């Protein structure tokens, strides 16, 4: 059985540009595609969103940003109708502006 170091063995003989391209290529494999939402999911998210705004409840929002899904937990400060964005203040008092089109899931946090 051949036991070698795999990629590590060859990186010393490669140009730095090639190593960077290989690292970027590995990152691209981890990218996620944005999923399409159907009518029922959108209606359910709309109801949860209205309830969270009305009763000032914490929500967990999963949204698509920079080719990956991210999660924010906090309270919805307000809804900007002109830019179609939610302004969410998380537990660390940091403001997140999330586009409605990028939201994949909204859940009430207990």
48-83 per-position pLDDT tens digit:
999 999 999 999 999 999 888 999 999 999 899 999
Spatial separation of the C-alpha atoms in residues 9 and 65, rounded to whole Å: 35
- Give the tens place of pLDDT for each residue, 82-91: 999 999 999 9
Structure tokens at 69: 């899904």
Spatial separation of the C-alpha atoms in residues 21 and 104, rounded to whole Å: 31
CATH number of the structural domain spanning residue 70: 2.30.30.100
Q: What does the pLDDT read at residue 9?
A: 61
Q: Can you spell out the DSSP letters for 41-103?
A: HHHHHHHHHHHHHHHT-EEEEEEEETTEEEEEEEEEEEEETTTTEEEEEETTS-EEEEEGGGE
pTM of the complete model: 0.72
Domain of residue 84, residue span: 39-108
3-state secondary structure of 1: coil
What does the mean pLDDT of the chain come to? 87
Sign (positive/negative) of CA torsion 95, 98, 104, 109? positive
Is residue 6 assigned to a domain? no
Is residue 5 assigned to a domain? no
Please count the structural domains in the chain. 1
The mean per-residue pLDDT over the stretch 43-51 comes to 93
């Amino acid at each position: 059985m051949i036991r070698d170091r795999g990629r590590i063995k060859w990186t010393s003989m490669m140009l730095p540009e090639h190593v960077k391209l290989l690292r970027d290529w590995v990152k691209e494999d981890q990218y996620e595609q944005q999923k399409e939402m159907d009518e029922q999911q959108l209606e359910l998210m709309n109801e949860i969103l209205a309830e969270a705004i009305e009763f000032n409840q914490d929500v967990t929002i999963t949204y698509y940003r920079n080719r990956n899904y991210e999660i924010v937990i906090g309270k919805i400060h307000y809804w900007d109708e002109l830019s179609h964005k939610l302004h969410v203040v998380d537990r660390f008092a940091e403001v997140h502006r999330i586009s409605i089109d990028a939201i994949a899931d909204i859940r009430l946090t207990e």
